[in-house]
Structure 1
Amino acid sequence: MSTVETVSPDAIESARVLGARNRAEILRAVSRVTQAYAADCMGVSASTVSRALEDCDRWSLMLAALGMQVVTAGSMVVDPHELTALESMALKYLETRRQQRTQEDRP
């Protein structure tokens, strides 16, 4: 049995773009804390971190191909369904506030 799956050009481009974003986020994070600090936290030498960063492009692209993205630990990730629900609630709230203001403005 063959498990060969054709990947569309759009999917390849999407993974490439997300991979570049992943790579940039990783490199920004390393520059914020320095390779030496990262190495100390990991219990390895700074040169080990430096060598690991040589594979950053490949790992960033693999994460993207798996549908994953790199975000900082303080980030909040919201799935599309949660975002739609939040937008719906915000719209209802804003509509209610507008109606209240309209009623308050009436003599």
Structure 2
Amino acid sequence: MSTEEVSPDEIENTRMLGARNETEILRAVARTTQARAADCLGVSASTISRTLEDLPRWSHLLAALGLQIAPLDSMVVDQTELTALESMSEKYLQMRRQQRLKGMPS
């Protein structure tokens, strides 16, 4: 076991992310169906059903590892990219405000 203490906030964040992971997986299973997922894996639908019994534990494990579930069509942006985007957006908006104040066309 780790000697590093886990704060109550970290525990709560892990619980919340784990619940989101679980919800995302269950939505995907509902859209796809257990039978389709089973066919893709080459197993029976009952195997998928039994696997889903451990879903809360696996969802929370992923959360504890700092991972989250996202649909394939999602765009994942890390904190560095988000900070850069915010900075560029702020500069752009400042320039647009200055142009408007000077009466310049956009």
TM over 0.5: yes
- In structure 2, the residue matched to 1:16 is 15
The 3 A distance-change label for structure 1 pair 74 and 4 is: same
Q: How many residue pairs are counted as aligned between the two chains?
A: 105
Once the two structures are aligned, what percentage of the paired residues are identical? 65
- In structure 2, the residue matched to 1:70 is 69
- In structure 1, the residue matched to 2:30 is 31
Aligned to 1:26, what secondary structure does the other structure show?
Answer: helix
C-alpha distance in structure 2 between counterparts of 1:105 and 1:76, whole Å: 35
Long gaps (5+) in structure 1: none
Q: CA deviation at 1:93?
A: 1.2
1:1-107 matched pairs, under 5 angstroms: 3-104=2-103
Aligned to 2:103, what secondary structure does the other structure show?
Answer: helix
- C-alpha root-mean-square deviation of aligned residues, in Å? 1.8
The alignment's TM-score, normalised by the length of structure 2, stands at 0.89
The alignment's TM-score, normalised by the length of structure 1, stands at 0.89
Long gaps (5+) in structure 2: none
Aligned to 1:24, what secondary structure does the other structure show?
Answer: helix
C-alpha distance in structure 1 between counterparts of 2:103 and 2:51, whole Å: 63
